[in-house]
Amino acid sequence: MSPIKIVIIAGLLYFGYRLLISDWKKKRGKGEENPSKEMPQDGQVEDVLVEDPICHKLVPKQQAIRLKQRGAEGYNYFCSEECCNLFVSQTGEKE
Ligand SMILES: [Zn+2]
């Protein structure tokens, strides 16, 4: 094998290697973009605490059970369905 052929083959290998690396970096770059965009949507956007009127626990608004207030435009928030049901049975039967 002549030295020139070795140089050409080495050059081709290097070129192919560079192509592979740049392609791989592009794919990795795209892969890293998505999780960082999805992260804020996963719950950190509206991280407001609301108080459960039954047990007075503070619950993240997104996880709380929401119940429309009677005769008002607001909502009551509960930590669990049990508290929600308790609230309905307490306030609903008074009418
Ligand atoms: Zn509760």
When pLDDT is cut at 50, 70 and 90, the band that residue 58 belongs to is very high
82 and 61, same domain (yes or no):
yes
The pLDDT of residue 33 is above 90: no
25 and 54, same domain (yes or no):
no
- Counted domains in the chain: 2
Domain span at residue 34 reads 1-41
User: In this structure, how many other beta carbons lie within 10 angstroms of the beta carbon of residue 52?
Assistant: 19
- Tokens 């435009």 — which residue? 73
When pLDDT is cut at 50, 70 and 90, the band that residue 92 belongs to is confident
13 and 33, same domain (yes or no):
yes
Ligand 1 centroid to residue 47 C-alpha, Å: 18
When pLDDT is cut at 50, 70 and 90, the band that residue 57 belongs to is very high
The pLDDT of residue 93 is above 80: no
55 and 36, same domain (yes or no):
no
Q: What's the pLDDT at 30?
A: 62
Q: What's the pLDDT at 72?
A: 86
23 and 59, same domain (yes or no):
no
59 and 86, same domain (yes or no):
yes
Ligand 1 centroid to residue 78 C-alpha, Å: 5
64 and 88, same domain (yes or no):
yes
35 and 8, same domain (yes or no):
yes
The pLDDT of residue 13 is above 70: yes
